[in-house]
Amino acid sequence: MKTVSIIGLGWIGEPLGLLLNQKGFRVLGSTTSVEKQEKLALKGLQAIRFSLNPHPEGLGFNALFQSEILVVNIPPRTRSGNGSFHLEQLNYLRTLIDRSSVKQVIFVSSTGIYPELNSLEKYRENYPITLENTGNDILFRAELWMEKNRDYDLSIVRFGGLMGKDRIPGKYFSGKENVAGHTRVNFIHQEDAVSMIAWIIEKGLWNETFNGVAPIHPLRREIYEKNAAELGLAPPASYQNESYGKDRLIDSSKILETGFEFKFPDPLEFSYLPLRP
Count up the domains in the chain and report the number.
Answer: 1
CA angle 181, 186, 190 (to 5 degrees): 115
Q: Is 150 among the domain residues? A: yes
Instruction: State which residues form the domain around 31.
Output: 3-164+186-217+250-264
pLDDT the model gives residue 79: 54
Q: Is 180 among the domain residues? A: no
Closest CA to 107 of 8, 215, 251: 8
CATH code for the domain in which residue 99 is found:
3.40.50.720
Q: Is 50 among the domain residues? A: yes
Q: Phi-psi category of 149—alpha, beta or left, where left has phi over 0 and alpha has psi -120 to 50?
A: left
Using CA atoms, how far apart are residues 188 and 186, in angstroms rounded to an integer? 7
Q: Do 160 and 215 contact (CB within 8 A), yes or no?
A: no
With a cut of 70, list the residues of the chain below it in pLDDT.
78-82
Q: Is 226 among the domain residues? A: no
Element (H, E) at 224: helix 220-231
Q: For 56-115, how does the pLDDT look when each residue is reduced to its tens digit (9 = 90+)?
A: 999 899 999 999 999 999 988 765 556 789 999 999 999 999 999 999 999 999 999 999
pLDDT the model gives residue 92: 97
pTM for this predicted structure: 0.96
